[in-house]
Amino acid sequence: MKIRGNDFGGINNSTVVIGNNNKVTNGTNEEINWEQFSAEIMTTLTKLPQDSKEFRACSELLMESTSKDEGKVAAFLKKHAAQFSSDVFSNLASTLLADTIKKLMF
């Protein structure tokens, strides 16, 4: 197949690959930036209603995150999955926080 009228500028560092029998892997196994994770949790706490289950779970998550133990934090998140997947939390959490939580939960 020949594509005309496109020079594929900016193809570097993308998931687009031209060639035969290529395999694309998208994703990294980067370490969690715990300081940024904690900062995002604190920001979310300022937005959540203080009498909500999400606020309490998020407060506890902040404490758990100080351990910087990915397994411990993941276990906590799985235990409180309902609060971290609720509409209230999802609408107020940043994309970075939500993505990190998803990564840890699954």
Q: How many Å apart are CA 54 and CA 44, to the nearest integer?
A: 10
Residue type, 72: K
pLDDT at residue 46, as a whole number: 97
Q: Give pTM, 2 decimals.
A: 0.70
Residue 27 region by backbone torsions, left for phi larger than 0, else alpha for psi between -120 and 50, else beta? left
pLDDT at residue 87, as a whole number: 95
pLDDT truncated to tens, each residue of the chain (106 aa)?
Answer: 555 555 555 555 555 556 666 665 554 456 899 999 999 999 999 999 999 999 999 999 999 999 999 999 999 999 999 999 999 999 999 999 999 999 999 8
